[in-house]
Structure formats: C-alpha cells, structure tokens
C-alpha cells in the first residue's frame, strides 16, 4: 500500500507528459496549417493580381485593335526582325495568307505565284505569313522556309516572319482580320473537307462557331481601301480567289 502514492505520481507525470506531447503536436499541426494557409493566400493574391494585369493588357490590346479600321493601321515583322507597316501597301488589293511548307495544301504556292505574276502589275500583292500552329507543318526557320518556297515553287511575293494566327500570341493583324470575316465553312466539293471536318469534330467540338483560323492557307482578301471583303478557307479553289481579286483591281 505504501507504493500507491508513488505509482499515482508516476501515472500523473506520464499522463501530463502525454498531454504536453499531444498539445505540442497540435501546436505544430496548427502552425503547419497556418503556414499553408498563408502560402495559399499569397499565391491567390499574386494570381489575382497577375490575372487582373493580364486582363487589363488584353482589354487594352482589344481596344487598340478595335480602334484600327483598315489593314494599313497594322504592321508585320519581316524575316530580318524589322517591323513593316502595312501602310506601304496602301491603295493595293491584298491577299493575306497563312502558309505551311509541309501541308496537303502546300502545292497552292504554285497557283498563288501564278496569280501574283498575273495581277501584281495591276496593284495586287500577296502577303505570306508562315505559321506552325496547324499540325506543326512549318517547323523550319524563316530562312529555311524562304529557301524552300523559292527553290520549289519560285515564289516572289512578300514573305514575313513565322508567326501565330490564333491564341494568346496571335498577330494583332489576325485578331482584326478574324473580327472582320468569320468562318463560314469549308467548301463541300473539296475532297479534303470531310477529313478536316472529322478531325475537328473529334478534337474540338464547337469549332464551327469560332472565327479562329482553322488550317493552313486560309486567305483574306482586302480591297484598295484596306477593308476585308472576303475570307477563303484552304478548301476553296484558287480560281475563285483569283476571280474575286480581279474584280477589285
């Protein structure tokens, strides 16, 4: 019976130590949770600030684009990296086309060059904007693209720096072009139309409702006043494109 107080003291000490350890563990857990919460709040505040900045920038860019009324208000980057104002083409009929070197539509370069030779003395220009956004079919450098086009197809019309025509890095020119003429469908008679439509249906539902460029060799026809008058999908026969351009000359 004499050992009972000692046992009780030892039990009380052991219980106290367990409570202290438990409290310490709870405190550490709370500190960890607090640090995580602080980290999340910092991340969210930075994310919100960046998002606001991005949105402000996007809104500013949209306002700038909306203020531009004709193609001559825009510019493109040359293959040498210099900015080229499209005001240089004021008073001319323009065909602006996003091209690719390894596409099923690449042979259109032949017809485009033939059209250019036939109409350029009447005030017609083709502005070639290589793009690698569609099937990665333009992987080369600007120099390699130019060499390919000149050697294989003998192209002589102006070719600019490879650029995006869709998405966050798209050229402001293309933002404007797409706002002027949206997508109205591929040409039903072209044998590649079912292939393109199936591909888009499987991978991008709702693609018909957007004005985005769908594929390589989409063309915008601009009159002498710098206004977009027509959009031709790559499935459109080039003789129709030439006929429309000729009417504007």
What pLDDT, on the 0 to 100 scale, is given for residue 13? 64
> Under 8 Å CB-to-CB from 112, ≥6 apart: which residues?
95, 97, 126, 155, 157, 238
pLDDT bin (cut points 50, 70, 90) of residue 20 is low
15 pLDDT band, cuts 50/70/90, is low
Question: What are the pLDDT digits (tens) for 192-232?
Answer: 899 889 989 998 889 999 999 999 999 999 999 999 999 99
3 state DSSP class of 87: helix
Please give the order of strands across the beta sheet that includes 228-232. Answer: 124-130, 93-99, 219-222, 228-232
What is the residue-wise DSSP string for 15-61?
Answer: HHHHHHHHHHHHHHHHHHHHHHHHHHHHHHHHHHHHHHHHHHHHHHH
Asked if residues 118 and 87 have their Cβ atoms less than 8 Å apart, the reply is: no
Question: What confidence tier does 14 reach under pLDDT thresholds 50, 70, 90?
Answer: low
What is the rounded CA–CA span in Å between residue 65 and residue 62?
A: 5
pLDDT tens for 130-173 read 999 998 999 999 999 999 999 999 999 999 999 999 999 999 99
Closest C-alpha among 180, 174, 183, 179 to residue 235: 183
Using only C-alpha atoms, the chain has a radius of gyration, in whole angstroms, of: 31
62-121 per-position pLDDT tens digit: 444 456 689 999 999 998 889 999 999 999 999 999 999 999 999 999 999 999 999 999
State residue 27's pLDDT score.
Answer: 55
Q: Which class is 71-248 in CATH?
A: alpha beta
- The catalytic site residues sit at 103
Give the pLDDT confidence score for residue 207 in this predicted structure.
Answer: 94
Give the separation between CA 92 and CA 123, rounded to whole angstroms. 5
Query: What does the pLDDT read at residue 63?
Result: 41
Mean pLDDT of 47-69: 46
pTM of the model: 0.73
- What the block records as the tokens of 180 is 């002027």
What's residue 54's pLDDT? 43
CA 225 to chain centre: 27
13: which residues sit within 8 A by CB, 6+ positions away?
none
Q: Any idea where the domains of the chain sit in the sequence? A: 1-62, 71-248
Look up tokens 């026969």; give the residue: 237
Q: Which of 152, 133, 129 is nearest to 142 (CA)?
A: 129
At residue 204, the pLDDT reads 85
């Amino acid at each position: 019976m004499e050992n009972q107080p000692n046992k009780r003291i030892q039990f009380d000490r052991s219980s106290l130590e367990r409570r202290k350890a438990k409290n310490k563990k709870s405190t550490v857990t709370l500190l960890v949770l607090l640090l995580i919460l602080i980290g999340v709040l910092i991340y969210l505040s930075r994310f919100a600030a960046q998002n606001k900045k991005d949105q402000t920038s996007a809104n500013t860019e949209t306002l700038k684009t909306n203020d531009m009324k004709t193609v001559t208000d825009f510019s493109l980057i040359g293959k040498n990296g210099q900015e080229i104002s499209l005001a240089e083409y004021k008073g001319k009929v323009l065909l602006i086309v996003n091209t690719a070197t390894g596409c099923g539509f690449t042979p259109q370069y032949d017809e485009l060059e033939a059209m250019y030779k036939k109409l350029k003395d009447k005030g017609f220009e083709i502005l070639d904007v290589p793009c690698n956004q569609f099937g990665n079919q333009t992987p080369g450098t600007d120099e390699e693209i130019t060499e390919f086009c000149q050697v294989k197809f003998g192209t002589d019309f102006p070719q600019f720096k490879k650029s995006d025509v869709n998405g966050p890095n798209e050229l402001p020119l293309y933002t404007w072009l797409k706002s002027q003429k949206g997508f109205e469908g591929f040409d039903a008679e072209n044998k590649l139309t079912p292939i393109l439509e199936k591909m888009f249906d499987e991978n991008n539902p709702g693609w018909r409702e957007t004005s985005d460029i769908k594929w390589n060799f989409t063309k915008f026809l601009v009159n002498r006043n710098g206004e977009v008058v027509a959009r031709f999908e790559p499935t459109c026969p080039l003789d129709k494109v030439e006929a429309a351009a000729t009417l504007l000359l």
